[in-house]
Amino acid sequence: MISSAFAQAPAGGGDAGMMNILFIVLMFVIIYFLMIRPQMKRAKEHRTMLEALQKGDEVITAGGVLGRVSKMGEAYVTIEIAPNTEVSVQKSAVQTVLPKGTLKSIQ
């Protein structure tokens, strides 16, 4: 009474599984090139900028504070933001090194 045709796998079922796997791999490749790789490049540029940081450089911190580097440490940098006014910040908080003379043109 029961037909054995119901127990058989549908024709062409192997191709659909392969397409799903290919789709997932393609999504990971797209995510890598659009998100992960640019972030790694930015992190590398920031790391090299921090390694090249020297006393006397004019910088902007992550909080938007502009100043001149007066002291360097392993993890902290002291920035002079006004005459006789210095602030210590983490080295990683330095976002940008400005061209020389930028602070004078702003004031």
pLDDT interval class at 35 (50, 70, 90): very high
Q: Which residue ranges make up each domain of the chain?
A: 13-49, 54-106
Round the average pLDDT of the chain to a whole number and report it: 88
Q: Between vectors from CA 70 to CA 65 and to CA 73, what angle results, nearest 5°?
A: 95
User: Percent of the chain at pLDDT above 70?
Assistant: 86
**Can you tell me which residue has the tokens 């997932």?**
24
What pLDDT score does 17 carry?
83
The third-level CATH classification (topology) of the domain covering 54-106 is SH3 type barrels. (2.30.30)
At 89 the pLDDT is 96
User: Per this entry, what is the length of the chain?
Assistant: 107
Q: If pLDDT is split at 50, 70 and 90, which confidence band does 16 have?
A: confident
Tokens standing for residue 66? 């502009």
- Please tell me what DSSP assigns to residue 8: S
- Global pTM reads 0.71
Give pLDDT tens digits for 77-95.
Answer: 999 999 999 999 999 999 9
What pLDDT, on a 0 to 100 scale, did the predictor assign at position 104? Answer: 85
Could you report the per-residue pLDDT of 36-57, keeping only the tens digit for each? 999 999 999 999 999 999 999 9
Q: What is the pLDDT of residue 59?
A: 96
